[in-house]
Amino acid sequence: MFQQMSFKELMKVLGLGAVAFVLGVESLNWLTRRLRDSRGPLKEVLFFPSPQVCVEHLFTRHNHFPCACPLPHRIETSFSRLLKHLLSARLSLDLCVFSFSHMELSRAILLLHKRGVVVRVVTDRDYMTITGSQIGALRKAGICVRHEMSKAVHMHHKFALVDGRKLITGSLNWTLTAVQSNKENVMVTEEPELVRPYQQEFQKLWEANDPANHKPQSTNGEINR
Protein backbone atom coordinates (compact mmCIF):
# COMPACT_ATOMS: atom_id res chain seq x y z
CA MET A 1 0.00 0.00 0.00
CA PHE A 2 2.82 2.42 0.93
CA GLN A 3 4.47 1.82 -2.44
CA GLN A 4 1.41 3.23 -4.22
CA MET A 5 1.43 6.41 -2.11
CA SER A 6 3.31 9.54 -3.04
CA PHE A 7 5.83 10.90 -0.55
CA LYS A 8 3.44 13.75 0.29
CA GLU A 9 0.58 11.36 0.98
CA LEU A 10 2.81 9.14 3.11
CA MET A 11 3.95 12.09 5.23
CA LYS A 12 0.32 13.13 5.66
CA VAL A 13 -0.64 9.67 6.91
CA LEU A 14 2.32 9.57 9.29
CA GLY A 15 1.49 13.06 10.54
CA LEU A 16 -2.12 12.10 11.24
CA GLY A 17 -0.88 9.01 13.06
CA ALA A 18 1.43 11.11 15.26
CA VAL A 19 -1.42 13.51 16.09
CA ALA A 20 -3.69 10.58 16.97
CA PHE A 21 -0.97 9.14 19.23
CA VAL A 22 -0.48 12.47 21.07
CA LEU A 23 -4.22 12.92 21.51
CA GLY A 24 -4.47 9.37 22.82
CA VAL A 25 -1.77 10.00 25.43
CA GLU A 26 -3.39 13.28 26.47
CA SER A 27 -6.78 11.56 26.77
CA LEU A 28 -5.24 8.85 28.95
CA ASN A 29 -3.62 11.46 31.20
CA TRP A 30 -6.92 13.33 31.45
CA LEU A 31 -8.77 10.14 32.35
CA THR A 32 -6.16 9.28 34.98
CA ARG A 33 -6.53 12.73 36.57
CA ARG A 34 -10.34 12.45 36.55
CA LEU A 35 -10.23 9.04 38.20
CA ARG A 36 -7.86 10.37 40.85
CA ASP A 37 -9.99 13.46 41.43
CA SER A 38 -13.09 11.28 41.81
CA ARG A 39 -11.38 9.53 44.73
CA GLY A 40 -10.69 12.87 46.41
CA PRO A 41 -7.36 14.28 47.64
CA LEU A 42 -4.44 11.94 48.25
CA LYS A 43 -4.53 10.14 51.60
CA GLU A 44 -1.89 7.55 52.46
CA VAL A 45 -0.49 6.12 55.70
CA LEU A 46 2.95 4.49 55.94
CA PHE A 47 4.13 2.39 58.84
CA PHE A 48 7.68 1.61 59.92
CA PRO A 49 10.04 -0.15 60.43
CA SER A 50 10.56 -0.68 56.73
CA PRO A 51 12.46 -3.68 55.31
CA GLN A 52 15.79 -2.87 53.73
CA VAL A 53 15.57 -2.93 49.92
CA CYS A 54 17.44 -1.29 47.05
CA VAL A 55 16.11 2.18 46.18
CA GLU A 56 18.74 3.05 43.60
CA HIS A 57 16.17 3.02 40.78
CA LEU A 58 14.42 6.00 42.38
CA PHE A 59 17.55 8.11 41.96
CA THR A 60 18.72 6.84 38.57
CA ARG A 61 15.56 6.26 36.56
CA HIS A 62 17.32 6.76 33.22
CA ASN A 63 20.09 4.30 34.00
CA HIS A 64 19.46 1.11 32.01
CA PHE A 65 22.09 -0.88 33.90
CA PRO A 66 20.70 -2.85 36.88
CA CYS A 67 22.06 -2.16 40.34
CA ALA A 68 24.51 -4.84 41.45
CA CYS A 69 23.93 -4.48 45.19
CA PRO A 70 22.80 -7.60 47.12
CA LEU A 71 19.57 -6.03 48.42
CA PRO A 72 16.14 -7.02 47.02
CA HIS A 73 15.24 -4.92 43.96
CA ARG A 74 12.05 -3.26 42.69
CA ILE A 75 10.15 -3.97 45.90
CA GLU A 76 7.87 -1.23 47.20
CA THR A 77 8.11 -0.49 50.91
CA SER A 78 7.05 2.31 53.23
CA PHE A 79 10.48 3.87 52.84
CA SER A 80 10.45 3.70 49.04
CA ARG A 81 6.97 5.27 49.06
CA LEU A 82 8.29 8.07 51.29
CA LEU A 83 11.18 8.67 48.89
CA LYS A 84 8.80 8.75 45.90
CA HIS A 85 6.65 11.38 47.55
CA LEU A 86 9.67 13.54 48.37
CA LEU A 87 11.18 13.15 44.89
CA SER A 88 7.86 14.18 43.32
CA ALA A 89 8.66 17.81 44.25
CA ARG A 90 8.94 20.05 41.19
CA LEU A 91 8.96 23.56 42.65
CA SER A 92 9.59 23.58 46.39
CA LEU A 93 10.21 21.50 49.48
CA ASP A 94 9.79 22.91 52.99
CA LEU A 95 11.16 20.58 55.65
CA CYS A 96 10.84 20.68 59.43
CA VAL A 97 12.79 17.85 61.02
CA PHE A 98 14.17 17.27 64.50
CA SER A 99 16.89 14.71 63.78
CA PHE A 100 18.28 14.14 60.27
CA SER A 101 21.03 11.58 59.73
CA HIS A 102 19.59 9.21 57.10
CA MET A 103 21.93 9.14 54.08
CA GLU A 104 19.32 8.20 51.45
CA LEU A 105 16.91 10.89 52.62
CA SER A 106 19.77 13.38 52.50
CA ARG A 107 20.58 12.17 48.98
CA ALA A 108 16.97 12.80 47.95
CA ILE A 109 17.02 16.36 49.28
CA LEU A 110 20.34 17.09 47.59
CA LEU A 111 19.01 15.69 44.30
CA LEU A 112 15.95 17.95 44.48
CA HIS A 113 18.21 20.94 45.13
CA LYS A 114 20.33 19.96 42.13
CA ARG A 115 17.17 19.82 39.99
CA GLY A 116 16.36 23.41 40.91
CA VAL A 117 13.72 22.73 43.55
CA VAL A 118 13.71 25.45 46.22
CA VAL A 119 14.48 23.68 49.50
CA ARG A 120 14.10 25.27 52.94
CA VAL A 121 14.91 23.42 56.16
CA VAL A 122 14.11 24.20 59.80
CA THR A 123 15.77 21.96 62.38
CA ASP A 124 16.75 21.70 66.05
CA ARG A 125 19.79 23.66 67.21
CA ASP A 126 21.19 20.81 69.33
CA TYR A 127 20.53 17.82 67.08
CA MET A 128 21.84 19.52 63.94
CA THR A 129 25.39 19.09 65.25
CA ILE A 130 25.28 15.51 66.51
CA THR A 131 27.53 12.90 64.91
CA GLY A 132 26.12 11.78 61.57
CA SER A 133 23.79 14.73 61.08
CA GLN A 134 23.21 15.55 57.42
CA ILE A 135 22.41 19.22 58.05
CA GLY A 136 26.02 20.23 57.36
CA ALA A 137 25.93 18.46 53.98
CA LEU A 138 22.75 20.33 53.05
CA ARG A 139 24.28 23.67 54.00
CA LYS A 140 27.48 22.89 52.14
CA ALA A 141 25.41 22.24 49.00
CA GLY A 142 23.82 25.69 49.30
CA ILE A 143 20.49 24.71 50.85
CA CYS A 144 19.11 27.33 53.22
CA VAL A 145 18.84 25.90 56.76
CA ARG A 146 17.56 27.63 59.87
CA HIS A 147 17.54 26.21 63.37
CA GLU A 148 15.47 26.90 66.45
CA MET A 149 17.05 30.00 67.98
CA SER A 150 15.69 29.50 71.47
CA LYS A 151 17.81 27.43 73.85
CA ALA A 152 14.77 26.71 76.01
CA VAL A 153 12.80 24.55 73.53
CA HIS A 154 13.41 21.87 70.91
CA MET A 155 12.19 22.09 67.32
CA HIS A 156 10.57 18.64 67.49
CA HIS A 157 8.43 18.71 64.35
CA LYS A 158 8.76 16.06 61.64
CA PHE A 159 6.95 17.23 58.53
CA ALA A 160 7.56 18.18 54.92
CA LEU A 161 5.55 20.18 52.40
CA VAL A 162 5.97 19.20 48.76
CA ASP A 163 5.20 21.99 46.27
CA GLY A 164 3.03 23.61 48.94
CA ARG A 165 0.23 21.10 48.35
CA LYS A 166 1.36 17.72 49.70
CA LEU A 167 1.91 17.16 53.42
CA ILE A 168 4.17 14.42 54.80
CA THR A 169 4.02 14.19 58.59
CA GLY A 170 4.18 11.73 61.47
CA SER A 171 6.38 10.37 64.23
CA LEU A 172 9.33 9.46 61.98
CA ASN A 173 12.67 11.11 62.61
CA TRP A 174 14.88 11.06 59.52
CA THR A 175 17.34 8.53 60.93
CA LEU A 176 18.35 5.00 59.97
CA THR A 177 17.16 3.68 63.34
CA ALA A 178 13.72 5.23 62.93
CA VAL A 179 13.31 3.88 59.38
CA GLN A 180 14.61 0.35 59.95
CA SER A 181 14.04 -0.38 63.65
CA ASN A 182 11.37 1.80 65.26
CA LYS A 183 7.59 1.58 65.28
CA GLU A 184 6.76 4.79 63.45
CA ASN A 185 4.04 6.27 61.27
CA VAL A 186 3.87 8.77 58.40
CA MET A 187 0.76 10.29 56.88
CA VAL A 188 0.76 11.72 53.35
CA THR A 189 -2.12 13.91 52.25
CA GLU A 190 -3.10 16.64 49.82
CA GLU A 191 -6.21 17.58 51.82
CA PRO A 192 -6.12 21.42 51.76
CA GLU A 193 -7.63 21.75 55.23
CA LEU A 194 -4.71 19.74 56.65
CA VAL A 195 -1.94 21.15 54.45
CA ARG A 196 -2.76 24.81 55.12
CA PRO A 197 -2.04 24.87 58.91
CA TYR A 198 1.34 23.22 58.30
CA GLN A 199 2.15 25.84 55.68
CA GLN A 200 1.37 28.52 58.24
CA GLU A 201 3.42 26.79 60.94
CA PHE A 202 6.42 26.43 58.68
CA GLN A 203 6.31 30.07 57.62
CA LYS A 204 5.98 31.15 61.26
CA LEU A 205 9.04 29.10 62.22
CA TRP A 206 10.99 30.26 59.17
CA GLU A 207 10.45 33.92 60.01
CA ALA A 208 10.92 33.48 63.76
CA ASN A 209 14.30 31.81 63.26
CA ASP A 210 15.70 34.26 60.74
CA PRO A 211 19.26 35.00 61.98
CA ALA A 212 18.82 38.62 60.89
CA ASN A 213 16.27 39.02 63.68
CA HIS A 214 18.59 37.65 66.36
CA LYS A 215 21.61 39.83 67.12
CA PRO A 216 24.50 38.09 68.93
CA GLN A 217 24.97 38.89 72.61
CA SER A 218 28.20 39.56 74.46
CA THR A 219 29.25 37.53 77.49
CA ASN A 220 27.80 40.11 79.90
CA GLY A 221 24.35 39.84 78.32
CA GLU A 222 24.51 43.08 76.35
CA ILE A 223 23.67 43.04 72.65
CA ASN A 224 26.71 43.57 70.46
CA ARG A 225 26.35 46.54 68.14
Active site residues: 156, 158, 163
Give dist(CA 109, CA 89) in Å, integer. 10
Omega cis (within 30) before 192? no
Please spell the DSSP secondary structure of 21-78, one letter per residue. HHHHHHHHHHHHHHHHHHT-S-EEEEEE-------HHHH-TT--SPP--SS--S---H
Give dist(CA 162, CA 109) in Å, integer. 11
Residue 68 C-alpha from the chain's centroid: 26
Give dist(CA 72, CA 70) in Å, integer. 7
Give dist(CA 43, CA 190) in Å, integer. 7
Strands lying side by side in the sheet with 144-147: 43-48, 184-189, 166-170, 158-162, 92-97, 118-123, 144-147
